[in-house]
Amino acid sequence: MTAAPQTILIVGASRGLGLGLVAEHLARGFDVIATVRKPEDEAGLKALPGAERLTLHQIDVTSDADIARLVAQLSAPLDIAFINAGVSGPKSVVSADADTLNQVMQANVFGPVRLAHALLGHVREQTGTLAFMSSIMGSIAENESGGMEVYRASKAAQNSLARSLWLTAARPFGITVLSIHPGWVRTDMGGSGADIDVATSVAGIADQLAANAGAQAHRFIDYTGREIAW
C-alpha cells in the first residue's frame, strides 16, 4: 500500500524562497497548501509542475481576521507548517519613524508568531514540525559587523518567541520547532551578489525539514544543518 503524501503549509509563497519551497515540495510529492497576500500573486504558483496537489489561500500574517479564516479552512493534519514572512525594513533604528519600526515588528515577529500559535492545533503531534524563516542576522553571538539593525532585532525577537512557543505550547505535543537561516540567497531581498541561488537554498531547507522530523526540539540552523549560535 502506498503511503499517503505528507502535507506542508507554506506561508508567504508568491515569490523568491517561498515560491521555491512550494516547487521543491511539490517535486518531492507533498500535498502543498500555500498562502499569498493578493489574488494576482497566484499565477506563478498555479504554473508549477504538480500544481494539481496545490491549494491556495490569501492571508496577511498581520491580520487576526486572516489568521482566523485560514485556520478555520484547514482540515488535514499538517506534517510541516513553514512560516516565511517578513520585510527588510529600514537600515537605521535612529532615522526610522515609530510607525515604520512597528510595521517591521508586526510583519517579522508578532504576525508570524501569532499565526504559529494559531496553527499548532493543526500540526501533527509527535512528528510534526513548525518552522520559521529566520536569519543568521538574528544571532546576537555571530553579529560581528552591525548594520541592518532593525532587521537583526526583529529576527532575534522572532527566535526568542519561537523558543517560548516551543517550551510552552509545542513541546508538550512533541512538535518540533525550527528557526532556519536560508543562506545568503539571490532574491529581491538578498540581492544579485548573494552566495547561492534559490534552488540550492530550498533543497537544503527541505532536507533539514525531513531530517528533523520527530526531533521534538527547537533548533536554530542554516539550510545545511549547521547549528547557529543564539
**So what's the pLDDT on residue 87?**
92
Predicted TM-score (pTM) of the model is: 0.95
The C-alpha cell 527588510 sits at: 88
Quote the mean pLDDT of the chain. 95
pLDDT tens digits for range 188-230? 766 677 788 999 999 999 999 999 999 999 999 999 999 999 9
Query: Under the phi-then-psi rule, with left for phi > 0, alpha for psi from -120 to 50, and beta for the rest, what region is 16?
Result: left
What is the model's pLDDT at position 2?
63
- Coil/strand/helix, residue 132: strand
Q: Write out the DSSP string of 162-200.
A: HHHHIIIIIGGGT-EEEEEE--SBSSTTT-TT-SB-HHH
The mean per-residue pLDDT over the stretch 59-64 comes to 96
| Confidence band of 9 (pLDDT split at 50, 70, 90) | very high
Output Rg (C-alpha) for the chain, integer angstroms: 17
The predicted pLDDT at position 195 comes to 83
Q: Give yes or no for residue 139 having a pLDDT over 60.
A: yes
pLDDT interval class at 70 (50, 70, 90): very high
Sign of the alpha-carbon dihedral angle for 227, 146, 21, 89: positive
User: For the domain 7-222, what is the CATH superfamily, name and number?
Assistant: NAD(P)-binding Rossmann-like Domain (3.40.50.720)
pLDDT at 187: 75
Average pLDDT over residues 166-182: 98
Q: Ramachandran region of residue 116, left (φ > 0), alpha (ψ -120 to 50) or beta?
A: alpha
